Structure 1
């Protein structure tokens, strides 16, 4: 007995049979449910065991999961797991530098300040070791700065007062609002901006902008 067509419910003979979507169809009945465009096995899209063309294929949407007590508990547990993982990563990376959560200009400035402090510390340690190796015997030494003076950056002028400074180290500007330095450069009209940064004009280059406070000293 011949099967019936999924469209017209009439008998489908072997010479005109299309077997698709768990049904049998006449070749002429295998068409889009909406526009009736004739389809083939290569271009049809099935939905709810009915054929459609690409244009009229039903658009499905995501099902909204109901906030049942069980789903709320799972959501809360997932949040707690995320917080625990964040804390673990934070503890693991503590002391390795700033963790860039959001790459904002402020975060970049803080990271740069820390890198500069580390660089200054390296220079200070290097200078100390060189001074110790070249130091004369105790009876011939001149007055030397205390260890406290050597390890602290030079005092800045009070906010609002301008002062001339000299570059202790070379520095390459990383932002458009910064000034590059070479060791020994004279910096005019220096104003404190915030912790670790000042504003001044490099007399050698004529550039005016921000520069790291630990790279200069008053003259």
Structure 2
């Protein structure tokens, strides 16, 4: 049974049949929906299963989005997600380039502490190398088979490495006699090189490090280390 034309509704015979857009057309009925120009399989454009010419082919246009509370919420959510992704990328790339560090009293204190630790480690390694190096005693070829009495009695004693207490003493700044301070607040040490104290404690042998930190010894406990300057007052 022959199909019907989608345009005119009449029977389409095989000699004049056009099969396109899942429909059947007469060759004369296969035309643009707007200008009725006859089309063929090479110059038609389909939209919504209807043929159009190139000039009248429907164009998609952008629509304005209403400024509703829901759309504003979606906008803020998208903005927050983009900021999260930016922070993640920043954290991943952090450390790959140079970054400026603020020259604050805290950073100056950390820098000085690192310099002191570096100097201590350098001297420890140097003393170990010098102390563990054996002293060579020259011998003649005739004496190589049998050591002499002097060489037998000779014993090398390497120089002992500095103990931890000596290293800690080297790390501490030289005390300044006569400078005494009284604690006006309680302070709990937040680092290994700091010292804890309570309100009323007397701090002696104080050495000013920078505007925010000083070095001293708590007279009550005998402990010494770094302490914040704004927690004490001069006696």
Tell me the TM-score normalised to structure 2 length: 0.36
Larger Rg belongs to: 2
